[in-house]
Structure 1
Amino acid sequence: MGAINLRHIAAARDFRKRYYRRTQVGATPGTVVMDSKAQISTVSLVSYDAKQFFEKRDLSAEEISVLKGRGKNLWIEVVGLANIPMIKQICAQFGIHSLVVEDVINNHQRPKMEAYDDQLFIVTRIPSLASGIKLSQLSMLLGNSFIISFRDDGDDCLNLVRDRIRWEVEDFRQHGLGYLAYTLIDTVIDSYFPVVEAIGDDLERLEEAVILHPHDEQIYEIYRLRCDLLDLRRVIFPQRDMVNLLISDDSRLISACTKVFLRDCYDHLAQLVDIVDAEIEISSSLLEVCHFFISARMNDVMKTPTLIATIFMPLSFIASLYGMNFDRSVSAWNMPELGWRYGYPFSLGLMAVCGLGMLVYFLCKHWIKPPKVRRRR
């Protein structure tokens, strides 16, 4: 049992999502340290307005400088954060603050919204469910005529947004870049629901399995799901605060019409908070139930040898009592039973009566269940 628990602890530790600062203590603000696991950087550009749509991929920083004045609304998407010089060059072209560049590349940031002069810096996290929850950072910088998004994960969950820009001429292109920022945030928030629902399905399956067939492996699985839920809760709460800041912010980059849609995002995040909190409570209860059943099973295992030892206690007392070597010739009180004709059968009978008596007592107390008799059909 102990070896299994140690294995569970070691394996479950792999599911704890921990984020470490890569900059040294006391480093200058704006210091950028590349992640050794960062993906190769690729840049794409989407330019659109009510009349035209233009898209180009695999661009360099120089090509971005040439194309940045094309179109009314410009969306530059950087996927992969390995090419730090190129990222810095693109940010310099749009006058992006060095602290924003640091938060983009050091991607352990919590969801937030920060205002920089005539720009809004927004950080959110995209969930994915493979072997456990993965939360990749999506950074967005919203300006007057551009929005730049940065992410290191190659999972292109934002294709739907690109398709909407391409095809929804009346519904999408009539709005400004603030609406595009809302659409990106809304797409990220909607991607949480399938993940939360999948975890809920796993909890329902485990809930039935724990009651019907409890075993040690379930503790590990429940603990893994609980770690995933805690990670989700850790990012959903600040995302709700971030959306609330966007709603209450007086920046002209977010129109009053877009803030109405952002209120819908806030409502979705409130629903996610309720669902995740409820599932965390269920996982905690399942852990307690699983521990209870395992403890009850261990008690059942230990009950049988304990009852056997209890039955043999008076038998051992009788055997040890008559095993004392007192000299009967000295006194008539020194174990007169040893001189009886039927002394030995008497001691065996006394042991049998004591043992059977305790067995009947345990059966009456329902501490021992009588064997089930199978009837022939």
Structure 2
Amino acid sequence: MHITTTAAKTGTLVLVLAGLGGAVLHGLPEPVDHAVRPTTTKDVAAWTMPLDGYVLAWGPASYAENLVEQPCLRAAGIDDPPPWATVAGLRAEDAAHETAARGNPAPALAETRPLTADEASARGYRGPSLAGANNEGFRRWGFSTERNAAFDALPAGTAARCIRQARATLGTDADGADQGAALVAQRLTYLAAVAARSDPAVVAATADWRSCLADAAVGPVAGGLPADPSGLPTASMRAVDWVTDLDDEDVPRAEVRLAEQDVACQESTGYRQALYDAEWRRLLRVTASDAAVLAAGSRNQATVDRRVEEAIRRARSEGSGRRPLTSAAHHGRVGPSAAAPGGSCRRLGRSGREAHGRPLSGLPSGRPDAARCDTPGLVLVGLRTTSARAAYARP
């Protein structure tokens, strides 16, 4: 199985202690005895999982908030809409950055979904294009001296009122309960995906998958076949053979052939079905702590996601959003003027503005893409990419 890479909320991720509680308690011997009512129906082709309904596509949601708040900001004297972007590009950036490999304990759901036959044929083991996220355009927009000065000059509470109205229109989370539930859902789904590989039925099917791929005559695999499908592409492939850039759109045909046969062997040996069933079962019961966080959030984020996409489509048809520039990393605005007084460190948007919280007080050592909050024990990660990616408890 190919675990695709993925990412988090562009707009404004609320750090909710309740949402982190499950992550902190996960290592304790708390019984996993609370039944969960699935938010989706089983569908191995779509790789739906019981907790999917708690998770919103955060990149598009934040972008939609930036678009929908524009009339309020124009009335306040700021006519500076966000750059142009596409839903596909924003989702791709989420998929490229919100990963366990980057230290995220609650990776986006795309990290747990295996490669599909269509994806294998289109791009081998590489991720989708990030061009539609228009990272450089957002970097320039967020760092605009004139724009930031205009926000600093707004009457107190004006910016917060505008983003609050946008969230009310879209139905995106205002108090953090939905985002807390989403973090728990993503964490549990990722843990279930990893644990499912050890299920006896999956282990048996893995041996058949290796035999199938070895017999397929697709050519030697750099570093040899991995223990299971999650090991493709191998480290050797990434380093010296085919997959030197997972975002590269110029994919060698040999890599495509291997990816196609990989998917075909997963399906023909029953590996994919066994993995799906094992992961689904593991998500039907959770701890009391996680159940409480899930119960406080919405299990119908798919409805919000559709509303978000419609808002973006409508804004584009009306000409909102500037045309894209070249691709680079997003950056948020970090500094005292980005903060409002009081409260815990709260959401930082694609615009680089935060919506309530204390000042961000600098960059943690070794984490150029993170900014530390004044709230003890918390760090906000991912300001240089689409969003405030996730919150982590720090020792």
Q: What TM-score do the two structures reach when normalised by structure 2? A: 0.25
In terms of fraction of residues, the more helix-rich structure is: 1
In terms of fraction of residues, the more strand-rich structure is: 1
Q: Which fold has the larger relative contact order, with Cα–Cα distance below 8 Å and residues 6 or more apart in sequence?
A: 2
**Structure whose alpha-carbon radius of gyration is higher:** 1
